[in-house]
Structure 1
Amino acid sequence: MQSGQSASEPSEIVDNPRAYTRWVMHAAQLGDADAQATLGQLLLDGRGVQKDAQLALSWFRIAAQQRHPMAINMIGRCLENGWGCAISLTEAAQHYRQAADLGLDWGLYNHGQLLTRGRGVDQDLSAAYELFRQAADKGHAKSMNLLGRFHHEGVVVAKDIQLARQWYQRAAEGGDFRGQYNHASELAEAGDEAQACVWLERALTTATPGFLQAAYPVLLGSAFSAIRDMGLRYQRQSLAP
């Protein structure tokens, strides 16, 4: 969910997590759907309040009754991952589809992911591609990166390396670390080691631990010394106590 100060949010509590949560809770209890969805996220993350996935899901459901797109999407996330409830991929897909139908980029992306993997729904790569394309048109960086992969590998669309590179670049500029990594890889392959290192640095700074562990062997085996050195530096940092 997006963070930031809303128009009606008291400026003096923005930097005080507990005060902010109290303000959000008050607004949620008054029936504001945005506040209800935000409160659910705060409870899910344990920010400014004790972490409580079950209560978070309850607030997402309350906001969803007002057709709040992100709340509906977050119910799907809870159902997919077992946050505060039993895992149900079928129900997760249904909620993602509802959020997608309301035009939410994350709903489009999450439903596309299930379609790509055949989780909770029949696998349908063509439908997944279309959902990622719709999300990308809304500025969703992760979807842009996946479109790059579709075109790079020639899955359900014609293989087109140049178009793949364009999507990777857009994903990178949009802040997706996988897009940044793929953009860096393409730049390195094209011989632009300096720019490859710039984008690789950004990717490694925000990537998940699992992604980093998978990336280290690739970086350490690079033909470029600067990339090998960067991979070694970040690997050492990850192993530091």
Structure 2
Amino acid sequence: MTFSLRREEQVDIDQLHQLIEHSPGKAAQALLAAAAQNVVEAQLLLGQILLDGRGIEQDPALARTWFGIAARQGSSMGHNMLGRCLEHGWGGQADLAAAAAHYRAAAAAGLDWGQYNLANLLATGRGVGQDHAAALHLYQQAAHAGHAKSMNLLGRYLEQGLACAADRHAAMHWYRLSAEAGDFRGQFSHAAILAEQGHMEQSLVWLQKALEQGNGNFLRAAVASLEQAEQPQIQAMAGAYRQRLEQVSRQATESLHSRV
């Protein structure tokens, strides 16, 4: 599979995605060539594989540079990913205020990830003044656009009555949609509601799905929550979550050592 370097010929981004899956080293070479020709989609993909170290040496600083180039060309995802780098200190110093500015640009362009990430900063008051009403509005926008993580957080706002009238029925609706859309936190929230309603078999199914997909931070919090559950069947899941957490932590340590 080859990619022309001539500016007048379009790069097939779908082919590049496939190449990343099957031959990441070749994909990295193709992405470097396409990114240098100002193909925004290639710049974004290149930034991502540089963050991940997939098919190319991991280089978060260079990833941040390419996301910045894409953002300056007007890419909403470029703004979002540059915001991520600035929020988490990937490839340079963290700057939450600057991250919020880039998320805001992405959100204003209608990008659901930008809406979600800006809402998270507003909800916690990091880099911006805390504003639950603004966060709720952004979660609503992203949730209605089909963003699974925002669906779960919209459910939480509705359940807790944050910046809105509490509406448990609506919260349950959004938790279910989030779970069905594949968000592990939404699956956990949905499972909790099902357990409260006495639907143990269904609850355990969703807890298993969340267990298989969840990251370390989620698993750590989930263990504590499951241990405090009133239902013995739910409490029993804490052991499985703890084992999975140990496995995820071990894999993260091994991955870190392999890059040293």
- TM-score per shorter chain, which class? over 0.9
- Pairing 1:169–2:176 present: yes
Structure 1 runs not aligned, ≥5 long = none
In 1, Cα distance between equivalents of 2:15 and 2:224: 49
**Taking structure 1 as reference, are residues 193 and 108 closer, same or farther at Cα in structure 2, changes over 3 Å only?**
same
In 2, Cα distance between equivalents of 1:160 and 1:105: 23
Paired residue for 2:58, among 44, 51, 67? 51
In 1, Cα distance between equivalents of 2:80 and 2:187: 26
Q: Provide Cα deviations, 1:64-84, integer angstroms capped at 9, x if missing partner.
A: 121111111111111111111
SS of residue paired to 1:202? helix
Q: Provide Cα deviations, 1:37-76, integer angstroms capped at 9, x if missing partner.
A: 1101111111111111111111111111211111111111
Alignment of 1:58-97 (within 5 A): 58-97=65-104
Alignment of 1:1-241 (within 5 A): 6-9=13-16, 14-239=21-246
Q: Once the two structures are aligned, what percentage of the paired residues are identical?
A: 46
Aligned length: 237
**Taking structure 1 as reference, are residues 13 and 74 closer, same or farther at Cα in structure 2, changes over 3 Å only?**
closer
In 2, Cα distance between equivalents of 1:231 and 1:72: 39
**Taking structure 1 as reference, are residues 179 and 78 closer, same or farther at Cα in structure 2, changes over 3 Å only?**
same
In 2, Cα distance between equivalents of 1:31 and 1:54: 19
The AA in structure 2 aligned to 1:230 is M
In 1, Cα distance between equivalents of 2:120 and 2:29: 35
Q: CA deviation at 1:10?
A: 8.6
In 2, Cα distance between equivalents of 1:191 and 1:10: 44
Q: Provide Cα deviations, 1:63-108, integer angstroms capped at 9, x if missing partner.
A: 1121111111111111111111211111111100001111111100
CA RMSD of aligned residues (A): 1.8
TM-score between the two structures when normalised by the length of structure 1: 0.92
